[in-house]
Structure 1
């Protein structure tokens, strides 16, 4: 009887060991009855100082994007899938008069510091924002703020019709000013996840907010890894090092078009466009700017290099907007017409080397861009090829150090970048951010008396239809001057393992990691 029992015991031990070996590695070290932690690793090409996101402090440069994308921070208002403004940390709001907004806050919101989010906390945060963030101060034009329990009253120095839209900007993430900002740039905010460690340009580690006010986060620990190289990002998702990816190279898409992965995609207002430098001896020439606009093959760029993951742009905004592409006139791809424009302006190829000259100076464009947005080096190469055909030489400088170079007008002629042109769902954002004398990022030092006048009118206009008409006229003004060349808008995609749910691409390119994110 004893001899029969030993083989049975050995077989039973073998089965138990096999079951243990097949269990999730996250179970290791767990005591009986303890649940395994759910973890999620997200690879992102854009979370780095190169994109003005060195940390997650919303009041530091563009770091609010990371705070909002990764579920750390939330704003008083947010955008629906159709880009309609709606309350979020705010419960409701009232326009008392043209300069006064009364905002009622949600009752049950707490910062991860443990402090209750009341009117006083919001007042402190917004006052600090306009003190340290130049663009926010220019947008919001706050004169004073008062707090009373769960209400905040904002008085602006002039009417700001788009105030709720601006308060939904990433810089508007509400955090606990009294808790402070760590030396690594971490804040205590209200989102479903709390940042616990951060290495700029490399990664951020998050844990779920156990007291989140708007649902129960499903993931215990999240790591966001900065992976700016497309091939490395591809291999990381293939090997299982990461569970999802933002910014995957289009050439890699076919590798993931199977039942092991899922795509989430949406059309956005992210534009890839070129800024003309009006301090440059080359691009301050209106003929050169017009020839560049006529010499870039937008359709070819979208179809050949973007692999259809975008659509040609005419103006600032996509055609899905009522004030978008279809409403404006722009230069079309016309190499022969561009050649004539240059010849009539005195740019002639006298030595037969294929590059035009004028007054002894070669027509050479210094094209500045950056690599973390994979579309931008592709746009540079496409422009280099097509502009060469009309006698313009393009020297490409694609560098992560572009932010320090673009502020020097002597260092470049054309600067190509990518940005969401209407993250607030309102047209005023782009013009106040990029095109006016007071704009914080008017890189090319463009000036137009007409545009300044139209912008002033828009800033005082509450009527939606009138704002849209002004937006069309403002777009047409900068397009007639060829101050900017809009090449394409992006269809944004994220790719995840098939077991990932709740990761949804949003038209404004915010709200990536939410309480709904799960992994099975």
Structure 2
């Protein structure tokens, strides 16, 4: 095997053998009635390209699908494509500038029309339209063209050699939209297409019957789904809203629901719920990190809308003494203990997994309040009037600290507020309903993308085991702005020419060990230069009813990735 083939095999961790499915109980489609799912962060759209929220991406994954996705081991698997293209099988050119996907023959949309390469090309054009705002734009970085020589062939050409081409059309964050349905929704019109965004036509195991934003979604089995006898469930009741504790109890204690996602709860609460005997918690560690994002722009409400959280710099968060002192003041081991127990680990990294990409150059497991005070003092931040708040050149260290409404996050806020105030900050806390905070509504002032605060706390992750596209979220041009309808994943508005240059080097580097080295450097660069303060490497923790079979918790893709294989055990 040549070096290029070896790299592509190792980086993707793919297997061409058919995926090992969960217990395949044969029978009629819809034989097991209804399955009830609860996401306490309610979906606000079913178009993953218009939201960076995990809740929206995962709800949509029941309907819209990619050409390939990652299984529960992080292995890339063909989904709507026949196989994973490689240099060895001829699907990727020797110069690494072109990848050719072969679509599985006979696929149809849920409306019965053929799924073709034209839909794939349209999806590329939809997301990369300069007048629109696409939350997943980094998945398409570096693509020069997408061509369709026939109905079942998609040829993606890159401007430069791309050693990891498995981003566009791969994973739950980059599914295919039906060209016919979204034809009038390109560019500035994207966010106005309510019917399409709430009721997408897909190839997945379910279709949308009714979508009540930030509330309930009703799905029914796709009559044109490609696998006979699947899905086993005739319908899905997808409830959104509430809180994590109520969601966990609804599965493990009352039995009202079959699956509860993202149970961000203290470990003793989970243990008490499990004693109810109706459900089982499931957990796994992927790249999920709870972090505090630092606003690199000015969120002053006195600024006009086109400048707020756009103009630079932030009044004080660009000072290394300030953000380093903020990090030093935090007792991460205590946060892990009270918030996650065995489902959490202290981390200094934006990318803590996979291990090969996890940097070991930083330590942050010891709180140092006195060191933080000394650092601020030396940098000229002093409390000259005795009110407890440090200032410099007329600027006070006053912080608006926002996050989503959740018991663990409010506990974190209270502790971090106390620590920061001890070293000379004034801290105002704000929490926002999670369905709104992660909703991506360009008209709302309360989304995490708009970032109308000095710092904000949340967690996110990425699909697959290669962080190239995820690290691309630190590029200067990926910051949400009014021009992008506030879409984009560079939430901190971090911008550093050296970072952009190093990321471009990563995107062209084939040697796996070099990719890992560069990935670690990028991680360190954004953390050490005021992009964010990582707190906790979180395990994903969800719960399912004891009589729900086929569950394979996936920390590398949508948790609902194999819902077509779920079934009722009858136990």
TM-score bucket of the superposed structures, by smaller chain? 0.7 to 0.9
Secondary structure of the structure 2 residue equivalent to 1:95 = coil
Q: 2-side partners of 1:326 and 1:209: how far apart?
A: 47
Q: Is the 8 A contact 2:124 2:146 kept in 1?
A: no
State the shift of 1:375 in Å.
Answer: 4.2
Q: Is the 8 A contact 1:289 1:483 kept in 2?
A: no
Q: Is the 8 A contact 2:66 2:79 kept in 1?
A: yes
- Aligned counterpart, 1:51: none
Q: Is the 8 A contact 1:64 1:173 kept in 2?
A: no
- Aligned counterpart, 1:346: 380
Give CA deviations for 1:355-388 in whole Å, capped at 9, x if unaligned. Answer: 33334544222112222x6543333223112222
The RMSD of aligned alpha carbons is 2.7
State the shift of 1:390 in Å.
Answer: 2.0
Q: 2-side partners of 1:95 and 1:64: how far apart?
A: 30
Q: 2-side partners of 1:63 and 1:276: how far apart?
A: 19
Structure 2: which 5+ residue stretches go unaligned? 1-29, 86-90, 183-192, 297-312, 480-487
User: 1:355 pairs with 389, 395, 403, which one?
Assistant: 389
Q: 2-side partners of 1:503 and 1:481: how far apart?
A: 41
Bigger relative CO (Cα 8 Å, ≥ 6 apart): 2
Secondary structure of the structure 1 residue equivalent to 2:564 = coil
Q: How does 1:119-198 map to 2 (within 5 A)?
A: 119-131=117-129, 132=132, 134-140=134-140, 141-180=143-182, 182=195, 185-198=198-211
Moved more, 342-351 or 298-307: 342-351
Q: Is the 8 A contact 2:50 2:134 kept in 1?
A: no
Q: How does 1:250-329 map to 2 (within 5 A)?
A: 250-251=265-266, 252-258=269-275, 259-278=277-296, 279-318=313-352, 320-326=354-360, 328=362
State the shift of 1:454 in Å.
Answer: 0.4
Moved more, 487-496 or 434-443: 434-443
User: 1:208 pairs with 213, 217, 221, which one?
Assistant: 221
User: 1:57 pairs with 47, 51, 60, which one?
Assistant: 47
Greater C-alpha Rg = 1
In structure 2, relative to structure 1, the CA distance for the partners of 1:240 and 1:408 (3 Å cut) is closer
Q: Is the 8 A contact 2:526 2:532 kept in 1?
A: yes
State the shift of 1:179 in Å.
Answer: 4.0
Q: 2-side partners of 1:36 and 1:121: how far apart?
A: 32
State the shift of 1:350 in Å.
Answer: 4.0
Give CA deviations for 1:22-77 in whole Å, capped at 9, x if unaligned. Answer: xxxxxxxxxxxxx97611111102233xxxxx221233334786455552222111
User: 1:71 pairs with 48, 51, 62, which one?
Assistant: 62
Q: 1-side partners of 2:271 and 2:472: how far apart?
A: 40
User: 1:217 pairs with 224, 231, 247, which one?
Assistant: 231
Q: How does 1:477-488 map to 2 (within 5 A)?
A: 477-488=525-536
In structure 2, relative to structure 1, the CA distance for the partners of 1:517 and 1:37 (3 Å cut) is closer
Q: 1-side partners of 2:449 and 2:116: how far apart?
A: 40
Q: 1-side partners of 2:284 and 2:138: how far apart?
A: 30
Moved more, 280-289 or 119-128: 119-128
State the shift of 1:83 in Å.
Answer: 1.6
Q: 2-side partners of 1:454 and 1:184: how far apart?
A: 36
Q: 1-side partners of 2:454 and 2:54: how far apart?
A: 30
